[in-house]
A and B are shown apart, each in its own frame.
Chain A
Amino acid sequence: MIFTNFKRITRTGFVNFWRNGFLSFAAIVVLTISLLTLGGIIFAGAFGRALIVDVKNKVDINVYFTLTAPESDILAIQKELNRLPEVDSTTYISRDQVLTSFKTKWQDNTLIMQGLDEIGDNPFPATVNVKAKDPGQYSSIAQYLQNKNPTMSDGTPLIEKVNYEQNKLVIDRLSQIIPAVEKAGMIIAIIMILVAIIVVFNTIRLIVYTSKDEISVMKLVGASNVYVRGPLVVSGIMYGIISGLITLVLMAAIAYWSDAAILRFAGVEVASDFELVVNVLSKYFTQNFGQIFVIIMGIGVILGGVSSYVAARRYLRV
């Protein structure tokens, strides 16, 4: 009997969905808009994160060594830096590598190349580029190097300078701005999700309200609450499934068309300057499709089903 009831409830839910054409359409439109809001929040989060990662990657400090510093000592310092919990990665660039990349960069500028020849020797110091896990941690890394002040065996300092002070202003501002942006984004997302839930719930409540007379008739012929409410919940779930599918298609379209739009909006130069990687959203959508599918479909189905379930409750008290 349970299977028979399940079959009848599901069938009735499908039939009602089809026969209440306009109401179903209205529910799907509202639910799709709400899910698209959620999709927008997901995309904005992904884009924002990509932007923040990009900006964070732009921030670093360079440790410049004296020209006579032995490579073994530099590598030992690099090793120590890598052990610091604040350090994400370090890159050692030898004097020769700096010279080579300088020459490559300025090979077309004869004036600079002549100047370099006149100097004769390699004027560039070896460098260790340090990236911290968080921009706020650069000050402690710089402090560490300053306190340590490593020297060679003859007492000459190994480190010429650390360019933290020059980057300090940018680093400090970013350390304040990034968490504030993340927090504001989270609050806006929560508010928008709440608004979407309220709008969907009220729309479905109105749809169930139009069935209140039918619900009372069903109760009067002795139908159980499950039997009356079941088809409404099935219809609600169908609103969720169809809205979810439409939303995913629209999100895919937005993801694939947005890159060109972002480039147009930001200007190619600015975009390349910030390395706004072309295809941020399309890459994100493709790589996280499973997760996005579960979130959008899951929330659509839960919103549709639960709203119908709750909305029907008050009319069952006959």
Chain B
Amino acid sequence: MIYYDKVTKVYQDESIALDGVSFGVESKEFVTIVGHSGAGKTTLMKMLTAEDWPSEGAVYLESANVHKMNKGQMNKLRRRIGTVFQDYRLLQNKTIYENIAFAMEAAGRTDSEISADVPHVLELVDISHKIWNFPKELSGGERQRVAIARAIVTQPDIIIADEPTGNLDPTNTYEIIRILRKINELGTTVLLTTHNRGVVDAVGGRVITMEKGKVIRDDKEGKYIL
């Protein structure tokens, strides 16, 4: 489904973020990408959403090179990928309802679909009681659950979760992991990056370990080895 083909990223200051990274991800897989800060995990995720461009190599989604898409194709690609970030990246001047609704509006959903699905998805991540609040009125764990709700509301094929538990306490961390596992069980491919040993061990499954921009291990049933 996803294939990174010898992807290299060298920034203008000559620093190497990715160094010939190659691996594939099957549909409905749950892949955890592990590495210290600066290992290249976030750059790897940005390549898939075409937020960043490779210096060499290519990233394919179902045999289409994501960096050779036009604007329209790019928008469609991004609607197929739900993204969750460490810093939540919610729209600060929109309510929780509007944050979720915006993703649906961008995907071309009707008003009736939006008014039916938004409360439902907020219930799934257990944040429906804050539906009319603004992001600044929520705790870190609550904000991350809203970010997950936004990522899944359009029923994407893939979820990218880039250090989603980085700012959370242990209780919220395991709650977020539980939600991501549940989403995966329902058939969504999940790419999770973390440097948290507890998260890796709790998730189980395939673990790709990165160091200095390179993939140093790819284990079917991996563990935290760094």
A contacts, CB < 8 Å to B = 1, 4, 8, 16, 19-20, 213-214, 217-225, 227, 318
Contacts and interface: CB of A to CB of B under 8 A. Distances in A.
Interface string B121-133: 0000000000000
Interface string B56-71: 0000000000000001
B79 A221 contact: yes
B78 interface: yes
Given A19-B93, A318-B51, A224 B110 contact: no
B95 to A, nearest CB: 10
Contact of A222 (B51, B107, B110): B107
Contacts of B90: 217
B71 A227 contact: no
Contact of A220 (B51, B93, B105): B51
5 tightest Cβ-Cβ pairs between the two chains A and B = A222-B79, A222-B78, A223-B106, A221-B103, A19-B93
Interface string B89-113: 1111100000000110111101100
A217 B91 contact: yes
A72 to B, nearest CB: 84
Given A1-B108, A4-B110, A218-B106, A223 B75 contact: yes
29 contacts: A1-B108, A4-B111, A16-B93, A19-B93, A20-B93, A213-B89, A214-B92, A217-B89, A217-B90, A218-B91, A219-B78, A220-B78, A220-B89, A221-B78, A221-B102, A221-B106, A221-B154, A222-B75, A222-B76, A222-B78, A222-B79, A222-B107, A222-B154, A223-B75, A223-B102, A223-B106, A224-B72, A225-B71, A227-B105
Contacts of A16: 93
Contacts of B93: 16, 19-20, 214
Nearest to B134: A19
Given A1-B108, A8-B105, A225-B71, A220 B49 contact: yes
B26 to A, nearest CB: 23
Contacts of A223: 75, 102, 105-106
Contacts of A1: 108
B183 to A, nearest CB: 16
Given A220-B78, A221-B150, 7 more contacts: A214-B92, A220-B49, A222-B75, A222-B78, A223-B106, A224-B75, A225-B71
Nearest to A223: B106
Contacts of A221: 78-79, 83, 102-103, 106-107, 150, 154
B91 A222 contact: no
Contacts of B75: 222-224
B50 to A, nearest CB: 9
Contacts of B150: 221
Contacts of B77: 222
Nearest to A18: B93
A16 B94 CA distance: 9
Contacts of B105: 8, 223, 227
Which of A4, A20, A222, A224 has the most chain B CB atoms inside 10 A of its CB?
Answer: A222
Contacts of B89: 213, 217, 220
Contacts of A217: 89-91
A145 to B, nearest CB: 75
Which of A4, A220, A223, A225 has the most chain B CB atoms inside 10 A of its CB?
Answer: A220
Nearest to A214: B91
Contacts of A318: 51
Which of A4, A19, A221, A318 has the most chain B CB atoms inside 10 A of its CB?
Answer: A221
B28 to A, nearest CB: 21
A26 B116 CA distance: 38
A137 to B, nearest CB: 63
Contacts of A219: 78
A229 to B, nearest CB: 13
B133 to A, nearest CB: 14
B24 to A, nearest CB: 23
A221 B93 CA distance: 17
B108 A220 contact: no
A219 B74 CA distance: 10
A19 B110 CA distance: 25
A218 B78 CA distance: 10
Interface in B31-90: 49, 51, 71-72, 75-79, 83, 89-90
Contacts of B110: 4
Nearest to B87: A213
